[in-house]
Chain A
Amino acid sequence: MEFASPTMLLVGGALAVLIPVLIQLFNRTRFQITQWAAMEFLLAALKKTRKRVRLENLLLLLLRILVLAFVALMLARPSIEGSVPLPQKTHLVVVLDNSYSTGARTDGREAFERAKDLIEASINAPEFVDGSAISLFLTSETLADYGRDDDERTRDEDDEGDETDDVDVEYDPEQEEVALRRIRDLRAQLEAARETLDAAEEAYEEERGRDTPQSQRLARLQEEIDEAQAEIEIYTRRLADSQAELIQLRQGAPDTAPRGDDGDVRIDPAALSTTERETVMRKLRDAELSLVPADWGITFSLVEKALESSAEAFESKQVVVVTDMQAINFPEAEDSEDVDAYRDQLEGIVEAAGGTSSGLVRFVDVGGFALNRTLVDVQPSDHVVGVGVPIKLTVTVANYSRMEGTGTAAQNTFRLRYSIDGGRERDLPPIEDVRPGQTRTVELADALPPFNTPGTYVIEVMVDEDDDDLPVDNRRAFVIEVRDAIEVLAVDGSPGRNPVESELFYFNLAVPFVSNLEELRNDPSYVPKTVVRARSTTVDNIVGINFYDYDVVLLANVQAMPPSTVSQLARYVEAGGSVVVTLGRHIDRLFYNETMFQSGLMPVRVGEPIFPPENESAVSIEPVRPWHRSVADMAEHDEMDPNAQQLTPVRVYQAWGVEWPEVERRELRRIVDLMREDESGRPHPLLFGSRLGRGEVVVYTSPLDGRWRQHDPFERGNNFMATRSYVKFWHEMLYALADTGSDFAHLKVGEAYRRPISADEFSQNNFIFPPGANPEDLSSGEQVTLRNQTGTEQAHAYRGELYFADTHELGAYTVRIFQHRDALRALVRDVIEDEPGVESVVRRELVEQVTNLLLNYAEQPGDARREALEELLADSLEGAEMEPVRQALASRLYASSEPLLARSAEEEENGGARVITDRFAVNLDTVGSDLRRIDEDWFNELHEELPVTLRSIAEEEGEQEESFVPQRSRIWKFVAMVLLIFLAVEMLLATVLTRRQR
């Protein structure tokens, strides 16, 4: 027999002897006095009973001693070969912070491992007999969540084989996957909405802080804030719904519904939460550090649900949060709303746990750290780079150490290295003297050698890991695309009689100007090499042009185009191309509002001109989305007003208003607003855009020429486009548009890789290779399926999406799409069969895609292709409404100008399959690297009047050794119970003894 707290045995033993004796002595001081005459009989009786009374007294003493000794024994928590007595059935909910910062080493051990040991000890502690339950929650997602270990799941099913027979387990891992994805999407949307809110609030505050705040602008900002808040609310609700759904799904999951021997099925909500001790132990041992930041809000809501669902079964409930107490996980002091929300959540938990005793929620601090140097960010000047152009890097490093290190760390020097495509590591210039607590951003010009071969490259930058307790945040990767040039097709809608009159006159002056904007910015004498290669054409010559040869197509004041050209252009954008539309005085509004709008190339319809040429007054312009690359730098380096940080005031001589759609499926992204409002109070955007498939459309509502010819283009204060800003603007815009893929290619860890897939990428064989895997070896990749082929609103109609959630490793991933015609055929058929309710227009579009693809794969030109197509359509499409579609397809088959046709020869070289390779980089969100811990005062203030305690892990570990009772909150209950037992025994003794006398 072992005792968890032997001291209790000693104390209890002493008490066991002392207390009864004291009781006896105490009793002897309390007696009544009476005179007595019949003493003789009393003496006789006494003589007769003396022996027996003495015996009885001894027995009483012995019993009292035994009761106390038993209590002492219980308190000492003895254990005999695993069988343990339990004071109470407890539901212990453990929240384990597995964000990567808990991987920091203290005293040579990872805090995370230490925390695991502590929890394991708790689970093995004698307090937890059968009937007690433990739920384990991790604050961050890990790989283990996603059922990747199918073997394990199968094994579980086998183990429980017989027992599960009578339980109808309806568990579909695919559904779970879907639910998980939805949750992630919602989280991402939530995050975006929060960003919008933050920006709007910031702008609002700024405006209000001015001397003369503009009420209109304030109202508009307020409106934006309201919108964002409403959005946040919606997303939050949806998120909660999805989580509830996930919980339901998982309740049916075999390894989350363990059964005890008593046949009682206990189900806990989250996948990582389980009440079965063995399962918890396994989950605990398997728990990994996650690189995804901790999500406390969601974890706490899961905790609350878990506590609620176990409402009746347990006598006591307790929540233990094992964390490194990073300040980032708690609301900041000044932000009262966050504080309220946080407190509400904790109160919910306390209520669900049904108690207010102190220590109900226990934070266990596993923090404590020494040195951490972090590579916060690395950005190339552009993600699309011209061949032979040196690449400049902007590197941000932070020294999050809380003390001076030793060795190299002592010099506070960040030694940087880089590698290209996982090749040899090379040195970068070091960053000197970054003291603990400091963050430094450094621009490293000519840091990387120029690339001479076009292609996609993954570049990884590392900080030396010596003397770093948390090495995981010391590397970052990014993807750059090296090109010969950015090809721009500029369609001049108003060529004029001589070049000066051309709509493109100033554009053509500006675009070949530079290849390196930074040089332009800093050194006026810089003679640039051009990387933007613009080719001008007119609408008359547009038919027959292969848009796929260009990165960007500019429609400058184009009156109208043939519908076929428009649909070609739309497909080109969906496949990743970009279109810029500028609206001059020649445009045909009907064309733009009907043909262009329906094809998706116009996010909104064109309204009335809001600034007729006669009106020359200046208007203010402000960037609505200053983070959009095309204007971000403009806001910072506006040469008109370097201090204003805004594009104001400038003059715009003519602009088109837009008709604000009431319900708009297409996302309108306002980039720059004009400060001119319509009746509804909405400002009209000067610059806006929207995504269409993989590509992007940007509309500029003012002409490119305007009245430029009347002014010196480089004269200040004329028009913001008439300066070097104009040159810069176009370069930023063209780089941004040529680089539409880079949005998809740079992810935070845990963020899903989701890329709209163009029709010609349709395939059933898509593989993603995590960092380190060999893209040539298909077994090392993860096969991903296309998501939602018929599309959702967000995914823009029928275009499918390549979706991959499991981005939990840092570094560069490779995507390979193996495209076969048979796969396509089956896919199309599946889609049509699975989606009986698909709109006929969607089918029509789908069939159009198939047509293109078939042309792409055709082995023979001519009638054979038509036969193949007819065969496929006969297989796939039935119903009268398809007849016109078929006819339309038939006519299109003979369009010799089909640009896709040109590609077939290239693909034949690849054994019939077309292989598309893409790459993306996953980086750490270093928000958790700043190991700033919550101030203890603030912690106490935050948890004021809540039954929350904070203890260090050292204290906890000490308590494991010799704890008095399992939880302090239970001590009074426990003592009361002991007293009750004692009293009951006393009363029993008293009645037994006196009854015998009567």
Chain B
Amino acid sequence: MRDDASISTKYLDPQVLNQIQHLEVKARMIVAGYLAGLHKSPYHGFSVEFAEHREYVPGDELKHLDWKVYAKSDRFYIKQYEEETNFRAHILLDTSESMLFQSDKSLPSKLEYGKCIAASLAYLIQQQQDAVGLYPFHHKIYKTIQPSTHRNKLMDMMRVLENPEIGKDTNVGPVLQQVAGQVGRRGIVILISDLFNPPKRFQEGLAQLIAKRHDVIVFHLFDRAELTFPFERLTKFEGLEKYDDLLLDPRPLRKAYLEEVEQFTSEIRRVCLKTRADYTLVDTATKLDVVLSTYLSTRAGEKKGA
């Protein structure tokens, strides 16, 4: 890991990241950079933690016996580790057309950014010996990679992420419901999407996930331009997904547009708050450590709560 530790934190910058082609490399860079930047953080060395002891029952693997305890007490105790909590993370990545929007060539598109989040989280999670699964979707989940701690699975994930299927429509609500149905065990659901859907539908899906006691992290992705609407000249807006082109003068619209966006995001935020989902608004210029921190704090909270 010495090599990785030497990698600078600059790879957390989406602008820098945007120049790297290979997703797996990207993910490693991000995680390595993140960890390098956090070497004094309280999360340091959390990877495999001792949880408790329990009495040996036949069938348990012998390698987990705590021989020191046996020497003291002459009893067989099994060391129970974190990994054995069987933590599962489900990453849901929106690959609908709207995610392709990229206002600035130096910044990644929303999809690119989402892929980075997904890949780096997957990498990080697997590094922690947890299981991670991937569910790319647009109007439906078109590919499922079941959570696994296996490295081969991670490579599969990367491959899927490299070649996402772009959908013409988004259906966050039904997708969430579908996930809630599929995923039996309790875990962390990480949703990466611009959520360009009616918030009500989103709320319904979210509610089902919560009902199954999943921890939900929402990364609400925006392009910087979508949040600031920086257009000064007459502009022709080419609609993504189902929308037609629109030629208009953006200046008089800005105020109303920003109001609309604000209203939308606050609604989403409200929904998340209500369902105790973790909500993070991210734009494509945001450094990735924010994303990773969000995940890890959630992870820590989950552990405490467990």
Contacts and interface: CB of A to CB of B under 8 A. Distances in A.
Interface of A: 27-28, 30-46, 48-49, 52-53, 56, 993-994, 997-998
Nearest to A44: B260
Contact of A31 (B234, B251, B257): B234
B130 interface: no
Given A45-B253, A45-B260, A34 B236 contact: yes
A633 B237 CA distance: 106
B233 interface: yes
A993 B253 CA distance: 11
Nearest to B236: A33
Contacts of B223: 37
12 contacts: A33-B238, A34-B225, A34-B237, A36-B238, A36-B243, A37-B196, A38-B196, A39-B237, A39-B243, A42-B253, A48-B256, A49-B253
Interface of B: 97-103, 110, 194, 196, 223, 225-226, 231-241, 243, 246-249, 251-257, 259-261, 264
Given A31-B233, A41-B261, A45-B257, 20 more contacts: A31-B234, A31-B235, A32-B233, A34-B235, A34-B238, A35-B100, A37-B100, A37-B194, A37-B226, A38-B226, A42-B237, A42-B260, A44-B256, A45-B253, A46-B253, A49-B256, A53-B252, A994-B232, A997-B255, A998-B254
Contacts of A30: 233-234
Contacts of A27: 234
A36 B101 contact: yes
A443 B215 CA distance: 138
B255 A31 contact: no
A988 to B, nearest CB: 15
7 shortest A-B CB distances, which residue pairs? A45-B256, A36-B237, A37-B101, A37-B98, A41-B260, A45-B257, A39-B243
Give the interface centre of A27, A39, A43, A993 by most chain B CB atoms within 10 Å.
A39
Contact of B246 (A37, A39, A48): A39
A49 B235 CA distance: 17
Contacts of A997: 251-252, 254-255
A34 to B, nearest CB: 6
A32 B249 CA distance: 10
Given A27-B234, A45-B259, A35 B240 contact: yes
DSSP majority for the A interface? helix
Nearest to A36: B237
A53 B236 contact: no
Given A31-B234, A33-B238, A52 B252 contact: yes
B249 to A, nearest CB: 7
A31 B256 contact: no
B260 A32 contact: no
B170 to A, nearest CB: 10
A45 B262 CA distance: 12
B82 to A, nearest CB: 40
B93 to A, nearest CB: 16
B248 A46 contact: yes
A34 B261 contact: no
B56 to A, nearest CB: 57
A349 B237 CA distance: 63
Give the interface centre of A36, A37, A44, A46 by most chain B CB atoms within 10 Å.
A37
A48 B252 CA distance: 11
A34 B257 CA distance: 16
A49 B249 CA distance: 11
A996 to B, nearest CB: 8
Given A32-B233, A32-B235, A44-B260, A37 B254 contact: no
Contact of A35 (B238, B252, B256): B238
Given A37-B223, A993-B251, A42 B100 contact: no
A40 B256 CA distance: 12
Contacts of B264: 41
B247 A56 contact: no
Nearest to A994: B251
A32 B247 CA distance: 9
Contacts of B196: 37-38, 40
A27 B259 CA distance: 27
Contacts of B247: 28, 31
A202 B251 CA distance: 86
A37 B253 contact: no
A53 B247 CA distance: 14
Contacts of B246: 36, 39, 42-43, 46
Contacts of B251: 993-994, 997
B237 A56 contact: no
Contacts of A48: 256, 260
Contacts of B232: 994
Contacts of B237: 34-36, 39, 42
Give the interface centre of B238, B253, B254, B264 by most chain A CB atoms within 10 Å.
B253
A415 B158 CA distance: 126
B224 to A, nearest CB: 12
A56 B240 CA distance: 29
A31 B232 CA distance: 10
Contacts of A34: 103, 225, 231, 235-238
Contacts of B241: 37, 39
Contacts of A38: 98, 101, 194, 196, 226, 261
A41 B253 CA distance: 10
A872 B240 CA distance: 127
B239 to A, nearest CB: 5
